[in-house]
Copies of this chain bind each other. A is one copy, B any other.
Amino acid sequence: VPRIVDHHQRRREVSAATLRVVVRDGLSGVTIRAVARESGWSTGVLNHYFENKQALLFAALREAATQGAHNLARIAASKKEPLEMIRAMLEEFLPLDERRRGMCEVFIYFYGETVADPTMAAEMRSYHTNWRALVCTAVVQGQADGSIRPDLDPVLTAEVLVAVTDGFGLQASMDPVLASHRRQRRHVQEWLRYVSK
B-contacting 9-mer, from A40-48, A62-70, A74-82, A168-176: A168-176
Chain B residues, CB < 8 A from A115: 26-28, 105, 108-109, 173
Whether A163 and B159, one on each chain, are in contact in the complex, defined by CB atoms closer than 8 angstroms, is no
CA–CA, A116 and B31, complex, Å:
13
Whether A116 and B109, one on each chain, are in contact in the complex, defined by CB atoms closer than 8 angstroms, is yes
Does residue A186 face the partner (Cβ distance < 8 Å to B)? yes
Oligomeric state, in number of copies?
Answer: 2
Does residue A133 face the partner (Cβ distance < 8 Å to B)? no
The 8 Å CB contact of A166, one of B27, B116, B129, B171, is B171
A155: min CB distance to chain B, Å: 10
Does residue A15 face the partner (Cβ distance < 8 Å to B)? no
Does residue A97 face the partner (Cβ distance < 8 Å to B)? no
CA–CA, A26 and B121, complex, Å:
14
Chain B residues, CB < 8 A from A28: 115-116
Nearest B residue to A178 by beta-carbon distance?
A: B159
If A166-B167, A167-B165, A171-B128 touch, does A191 touch B160 (CB 8 Å cutoff)? yes
- Cβ contacts A to B, 28 pairs, < 8 Å: A26-B115, A27-B115, A28-B116, A108-B111, A108-B112, A109-B112, A109-B115, A110-B112, A111-B111, A111-B170, A115-B173, A128-B175, A156-B187, A156-B190, A159-B168, A160-B164, A160-B168, A160-B190, A162-B167, A162-B171, A163-B170, A163-B171, A164-B167, A165-B167, A166-B167, A167-B167, A167-B170, A170-B170
